[in-house]
């Protein structure tokens, strides 16, 4: 399953908050954490990383906080994910040599097709801005052209079938 890490999720939530409810003012991580019910300590670390990557501006002190470092339409989802997780990759086998290299790289037939998918995903993440994310819009293609519909997995959602029986 392709998914963003929690840090990337929290970073996108925080930046969305700054772009909408922050309104250019300084916002502390606790305010954002309270709004989304996420751990304040983890969000503080996320915000520090975003500041180091110059996606937010930081003002220290008791009246300090964070604000977007540039307009929301100039921050891409790719910028945010790379800031939190490093280079964008759909598979862990892109390096051919070294300790992280893939032992099957010499004989692998998947690298070419996966590389095309990788390029499309990276392009889409880089073309999608924070402004796009915070602007409600209908799905362009709610169903694939052919095949079954894709579903979103929500690990927090529990159904009666998955709930433990008492």
Of residues 79 and 162, the one with the higher pLDDT is 79
pTM of the model: 0.75
Confidence of residue 110 (pLDDT cuts 50, 70, 90): confident
Confidence of residue 34 (pLDDT cuts 50, 70, 90): very high
Burial grade of 130 (CB within 10 A; 0-12, 13-18, 19 or more): buried
Question: Does position 120 have pLDDT exceeding 80, yes or no?
Answer: yes
8-28, pLDDT tens digit by residue?
999 999 999 999 998 879 999
Average pLDDT, the chain: 82
DSSP string, 51-85: HHTTSEEEE-STT-EEEESS-GGGSBHHHHHHHHH
């Amino acid at each position: 399953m392709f998914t963003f890490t929690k840090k990337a999720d929290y970073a996108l939530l925080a930046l969305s908050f700054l772009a909408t409810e922050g309104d250019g003012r300084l916002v502390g991580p606790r305010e954002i954490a309270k709004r989304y019910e996420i751990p304040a300590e983890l969000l503080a670390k996320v915000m520090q990383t975003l500041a180091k990557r110059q996606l937010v501006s930081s003002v220290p002190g008791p009246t300090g906080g964070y604000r977007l470092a540039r307009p929301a339409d100039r921050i891409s989802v790719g910028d945010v994910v790379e800031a939190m997780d490093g280079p964008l990759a759909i598979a862990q086998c892109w390096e051919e040599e070294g300790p992280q290299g893939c032992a099957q790289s010499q004989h692998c037939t998947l690298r070419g097709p996966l590389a095309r998918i990788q390029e499309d995903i990276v392009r889409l993440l880089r073309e999608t801005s924070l402004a796009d994310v915070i602007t409600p819009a209908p799905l362009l293609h709610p169903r694939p052209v052919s095949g079954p519909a894709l579903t979103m997995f929500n690990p927090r959602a529990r159904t009666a079938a998955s709930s433990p029986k008492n």
